[in-house]
A = this chain, B = another copy of it.
Amino acid sequence: MSFTIKLRIAPAISHFDLNRKTHKNSTISRTPIYHSNQLSTSLVFRTKKMVSPIIKSSLIEPDGGVLVDLVVPENQRDLKASEADGMVKVQLTKIDLEWVHVISEGWASPLKGFMREDEYLQSLHFNSLRLKNDNGSMVNMSLPIVLAIDDETKERIGGANDVALVGPDQKTIAILRSIEIYKHNKEERIARTWGTTAPGLPYVEEVITPAGNWLIGGDLEVLSPIKYNDGLDNYRLSPKQLREEFDRREADAVFAFQLRNPVHNGHALLMNDTRRRLLDMGYKNPILLLHPLGGYTKADDVPLDVRMEQHSKVLEDGVLDPKTTIVSIFPSPMHYAGPTEVQWHAKARINAGANFYIVGRDPAGMGHPTEKRDLYDPDHGKKVLSMAPGLEKLNILPFRVAAYDTVAKKMAFFDPSRAKDFLFISGTKMRTFARTGESPPDGFMCPGGWDVLVKYYASLQVEEATPAAVSA
């Protein structure tokens, strides 16, 4: 359960422009975030490790034993780019590009490209992949990571072996080699991934329904690291960079917290309590990976830039300790596929070096799109996660339920013996508070973080109140 990585000096990370407007619905003013968690300084390694560049890491092994890195080395980029020029071009959507990012950095290790049919079928039926050259052992792989093409593109590809992938801005992003084209049975993919085919699943409507009827798999070579130029690229640490940082901090346990919502004090309580429990277990230096999801989210989720600013306030206000916390962006898009997706969220964090994963109520869940109920049983996520093939080496930490304790006037673990003292503040309720300008109960969220949300929702209301311009 250990492996050797080569540590090297991280490239100097330039300061980023946080005044750039990163979300069209968000017009709040920008100030630099992460004053107290400035990764650009923390990534300067101490002399000792620079002298001895190869150290034994005690971090959990990535799936398949080796962290996948599909970014072409700089000295080969021109050559590969010329080669790609001569290939049939396949157009990527914004979300396809997020998946290219995910695959290229090894979050889905040992996956080396978009899935071919044998990988797709294993993912769909078994939520796992059998390794070909490791005694047939299994790694978890619960979401199909696939690239769809339409009939016309398939026609253009013809008998080609390799194709070039072109980003939404028409720049060539990557090469896909030794391709395999197979049928995209959308109904089956949706049914087996979500456990429903009801209309209104966000990822289905946004990604799958408009997609082509074919899937194209192959080995990926990405011409240069994927960047978004949204002022947040420095917070998109790759699994390799995260592992380097955990080693630099001499972490002997890494616990990951996946989120796509603002952090309230209940979350913070949980994370701090987890650290305490890990110390009790004998770990000397547990590090928290606070890991907001940065890819596609549904329209009514709080956008990434606002969440990142909110998270920074939580660290500034001292609710979480910057010395033992790393905040970074997980580049995956959201599926909202509950028990199937939570496995992906956990598996990707193994590849980033986390050996503990916190799982809450109804992870990656949402309301049923056509019925008045949760789409998934709220307990199934953690049950499925704890039994999932390929995740045996990951320690699953079930979320204890936190709620607002009206007596202690703070977020606290729910105590069923005095249930009436507790107030559950749902996302919807929080949103209503923020929109109406009403303050949540004292101690629900640090004031700086709350302020970010109030401004965001106020900006939405201004936008909603402004009549849309008539386009020519």
Nearest CB on B from A43, distance (A): 38
Within 8 A of B (CB), among A131-174: 136, 138, 142
Query: What 1/0 mask marks residues of chain A from 116 to 139 whose CB sits below 8 Å from any chain B CB?
Result: 011001100111101000001010
Verify B122–A387 contact, CB threshold 8 A.
yes
- In Å, the complex CA distance between A34 and B17 comes to 84
A104-112, A186-194, A304-312, A453-461 - interface stretch: A186-194
Residue of B with least CB distance to A392: B136
Residue of B with least CB distance to A129: B387
Contacts of A187 in B (CB 8 A): 195-196, 198
Within 8 A of B (CB), among A321-373: 339-340
A224 contacts chain B at the CB level, 8 A cutoff: no
Copies in the complex: 2
A50 contacts chain B at the CB level, 8 A cutoff: no
Verify A195–B192 contact, CB threshold 8 A.
yes
Contacts of A289 in B (CB 8 A): none
Residue of B with least CB distance to A371: B187
A44 contacts chain B at the CB level, 8 A cutoff: no
- In Å, the complex CA distance between A94 and B253 comes to 54
Verify A377–B185 contact, CB threshold 8 A.
yes
Nearest CB on B from A461, distance (A): 37
Contacts of A128 in B (CB 8 A): 126, 389
Verify A384–B195 contact, CB threshold 8 A.
no
Within 8 A of B (CB), among A61-108: none
Verify B197–A387 contact, CB threshold 8 A.
no
Contacts of A340 in B (CB 8 A): 125
Within 8 A of B (CB), among A368-420: 376-377, 380, 383-384, 387-389, 392
A183 contacts chain B at the CB level, 8 A cutoff: yes
Verify B183–A191 contact, CB threshold 8 A.
no
**Given A136-B392, A340-B125, A377-B183, do A130 and B387 touch, yes or no (CB 8 Å)?**
yes
Nearest CB on B from A363, distance (A): 14
Contacts of A188 in B (CB 8 A): 195-196, 376
Q: Return 11 A-B CB contacts under 8 Å, by A number.
A: A118-B383, A118-B387, A122-B387, A125-B384, A130-B387, A138-B138, A187-B195, A188-B195, A188-B376, A191-B194, A191-B196
Closest 8 CB pairs of A and B: A188-B195, A191-B191, A191-B195, A197-B197, A192-B195, A122-B387, A125-B384, A191-B196
